[in-house]
Structure 1
Amino acid sequence: MIHLRTFAAGVGLAALATSAFAQTAPSADEISALRAQVQALSARLEQLEAQQRSAAAPVVAAAQTPAAAAAAPATPAAPNDPPRPAQTAATPAAVDWSTGLPELRSPDGAFTFRPRVRVTADLSSTGGSDFDGRNLAGTELRGLRLGAQGRVAGGFTYWLEADIADNAVSVANAFVAYNRKLSGRDLEVSFGQRLNDRGVEGGTAEDQTPFLERSLMVSTLGPERGSYGVGVTSKLTGGVWHGSLSVTGDAISDGTTDDTLTVMGRTHLAAFKTDDGFLHLGGWAFAEDLTPATTIASRSLVVSSRFNDNLRLASGPYANPEGSRGFGLEFGGVRGPGWLMVEGGQRVLETAARDFHQDAYAVSAGFFLTGETPPLSARSGAWQRPKVLKPFGGGDGYGAVELVGRYDQADFSDSPTGGEGDTWLLGVNWYPTNNTRVSAHWSAWSVENRTGVFAGDDSGNTATIRVQTGF
């Protein structure tokens, strides 16, 4: 309105000026008339200003409401406009591809969902056995695992996986966990079925261990129910240590008999940790109470390759088992691109007749020729996927190359029908990327079974090539 007043004053002055130029000597009456006209015009403009302010006030108030602000169309910013503040309205969930598969996240990050996929294919050949039935060669889809994991508001996480192997479908990890900080440490309490926390190799997912199959030591010393059990597991994790305790029944079953009861605990410490490595110390133990429905206990262990079911180490049958207890010790470490691990222990199977001892151990080592740090976690005491320094396909990238070796032994000879065996293994793992692996492993094995079709002392060698991807 200030501009209008100025305009009116200008009109008046222009009229005076025009009159002055038109008449060299205006009369007093003419000047008084012009002055009256200017005053009248100014009063009219003031009246219009007041009316316009009254009409604009409700519009401004309505424009300041959240509903009007949301409905107002956005105007594009000019190139030189200052940056606008972020909108407070909800935005679409973010998608993170950093792990290789999409992770969906809610705008506030409280909810996440990420699929899990693992495909493993093997080519295996066994020769040198005294039994022709053991000299087998062929291919196998070692496993196809599908699942999902994520986070739920309130400190909860979930994990669900199903494994398709040997033309059968089985449930692996399937649990919900509550997570929180406790005196600066990470506390996790899970409910459901999950992999046992039993040693470095036994507590690591199969696709993340340096070897194609777990050692005879892992298979020998576990509880009767196997590597999985449904129940409650708690973990407390610090910077270089962790401790776990679980109380579980059998793995997911048909519900026709009572479950066994297993109590298991483990702890580890990554001592003297530096940027160049650390010393790994650990131990675990368990005790299980078998139900009367468990009338026979026996084991048939994989030797070198799961493809060859005729190449197994048999423990023999144990009649009327009542329970078992076991323990294991872990010693090793990481130094630069190399690592070493020694694990061993004993399981005592309690039967109505007497107790039987089952002994096993494994010595393993590896070295990354391409300089990667061995992915043994100082926090969890388990293997993870390596972080490849120069991924294949990235310009001059060639992936990571690791040489591995292992000697393992299992002994069931405390029983008259129990066998014993050992293997020497050498292998090379090529990791083109963090999520892919191509492995070639060769092992020389010796097995003596005292029962079954392939009873007697036997030896030979097995070569296996594996291609694997996992996310």
Structure 2
Amino acid sequence: MTLLRSLAAGVGLAALATSALAQSAPSAEEIAILRAQVQALSARLEQLEAQSRNAAQASPVVAGTPAAIAAPAPRPVQTAAATTAPAPVDWATGLPEWRSPDGAFTFKPRIRVTADLSTTFGSEFANRDLTTTELRGLRLGGQGRIAGGFSYWIEGDIADNSVSVANAFIAYSRKLGGRDLEISAGQRLNDRGVEGGTAEDQTPFLERSLMASTLGPERGAYGVGVAGKLTGSVWHASLSVTGDAISDGTTNDTVALMGRTHWSPLKTEAGFLHLGGWGFVEDLTPVTTLPSRNLVVSSRANDNLRLSSGTYANPKASSGFGLEFGGVHRSFWAMAEGGKRVVETAARDFDQDAYSLSAGFFITGETPPLSARTGTWTRPKVLNPLGADGYGALEVVGRYDTADFSDSLTGGEGDTWLLGVNWYPTNNTRVSAHWTAWSIDNRTGAFTGDDSGNTANLRMQTAF
């Protein structure tokens, strides 16, 4: 502090000298003002010196420590990159998603467990009146992103006491004119209608409709090949060229060209209108006979309750198309889908016709999870998940569907009326109770002739 007082005196003298240089004869009044300023500064420095001595006496220096404590180092300033870096593990969707520090690489496991209880009664055939339980599906896999705009998805399914590969592909994504372009190679679910293009755990019904099962290509719901999709805010268009699903490689593949588009006009906060269409052509020349399709009627757990298409000898090609019309208004949704498949054989062409009408309503006020962007179902966003203050989401659904193979002498026909309730405790869990009144008329197989009855299904499911 003595040094500070000397410095203050020096400042005062410098001020006097400066004043003297400015004017050779300073007045007595100016000298008095400068002297008062120097005295005030000296008094303030003495006060600070006394406060410093008191603080030192109150906090004696501990042996072994520095006599003077350095001021704490300033906190490092976070850069923009540091504040926006993704967390290494994200649990937002219920399962962990691992991410690299720059977010360019990710990995997320996929799990689906579905268990069913089914009972059928009222059939003319005693062997159709079955009560069964089934692990409808145990699906395990993973998906993620790779630096450079690539992504991958692979999963296997354990169902009906067998293991199969479902989605298994790699994709490249980028922006094109403000839209999302995706090109994929491998095996993936068909983009064919609303029900046919949606994963089974996300459709409002426990089984896909007779319409969705009837009008698909011979290879089924999956095929290995190349697919491209362009997606806007309220529309999308896709095109794929595929062979059969993953097989043993002992026969030639059939080849199918398939395309779909949908548009959601009149989109408002209350809902939107859905319009769509799809079509395919396939080459069946490597096939000598098309085996009979045995379509699921209400429950996959009852193998004695099926609708048979009959066989087709010497097929050459197949083609099909479908139309989609429906929409969403607040908590209500409705959808109509229908179309035709034509099987070309050496003898003649055979028609296969099918359509479905479906609707649903969320009693608890949720928005139906039909995407105006992709034209497929997603999982609902539950407003009040099950817990201390919530009871989940409750949806009532209904559907009528029909399929007709009777253009062939061995083809059957049938229809179903369905009424069900879906309870979603959380976004990833579901409990469903569905009742179906069915009527089928098979011309081949162990259960031929006109028959009708009822089937009740109960399902518990969790999917991530």
Shorter-chain TM-score tier: 0.7 to 0.9
Amino acid at match of 1:344: G
Size of the aligned set, in residue pairs, is 399
Q: Is 1:412–2:405 an aligned residue pair?
A: yes
Task: Give per-residue Cα distances to partners, 1:141-192, cap 9 Å, x unaligned.
Answer: 0000000000000000100010000010000000000000000000000000
Q: Is 1:243–2:237 an aligned residue pair?
A: yes
Residues 372 and 350 of structure 1: is their aligned pair in 2 closer, same or farther, counting only changes over 3 Å? Answer: same
Counterpart position of 1:51 = none
2:423 paired residue among 416, 427, 430? 430
Counterpart position of 1:319 = 313
Counterpart position of 1:396 = 389
Counterpart position of 1:228 = 222
Counterpart position of 1:274 = 268
Alignment of 1:51-70 (within 5 A): none
Counterpart position of 2:355 = 361
Q: CA deviation at 1:308?
A: 0.1
Amino acid at match of 1:86: Q
Distance 1:188 1:296 in 2: 33
Q: Is 1:193–2:187 an aligned residue pair?
A: yes
Q: Which runs of 5+ in 2 are unaligned?
A: 7-69
Distance 1:353 1:135 in 2: 38
1:84 paired residue among 76, 79, 87? 76
For structure 1, which segment, 285-294 or 128-137, has the greater mean C-alpha deviation from structure 2 after superposition? 285-294
Residues 443 and 92 of structure 1: is their aligned pair in 2 closer, same or farther, counting only changes over 3 Å? Answer: closer
Amino acid at match of 2:141: G
1:440 paired residue among 433, 437, 447? 433
1:253 paired residue among 236, 247, 250? 247
Q: Is 1:118–2:115 an aligned residue pair?
A: no
Counterpart position of 1:334 = 328
Amino acid at match of 1:408: D
Percent same amino acid at aligned positions?
76
Alignment of 1:9-158 (within 5 A): 78=72, 82-86=74-78, 94-158=88-152
2:456 paired residue among 430, 444, 463? 463
Distance 2:114 2:357 in 1: 25
Counterpart position of 2:43 = none
CA contact (8 A) 2:289 2:311 kept: no
For structure 1, which segment, 286-295 or 379-388, has the greater mean C-alpha deviation from structure 2 after superposition? 286-295
Amino acid at match of 1:108: D
CA contact (8 A) 2:86 2:99 kept: no
CA contact (8 A) 1:257 1:293 kept: no
RMSD: 2.1
Q: Is 1:454–2:433 an aligned residue pair?
A: no
CA contact (8 A) 2:254 2:286 kept: no
Q: CA deviation at 1:77?
A: 9.7
Task: Give per-residue Cα distances to partners, 1:250-309, cap 9 Å, x unaligned.
Answer: 000111111111000000001100010000000000000013234234211000000000
Distance 1:109 1:228 in 2: 31
Q: CA deviation at 1:92?
A: 9.9
3-state DSSP class of the match of 2:267?
A: strand
Runs of 4+ in structure 1 displaced over 6 angstroms?
none
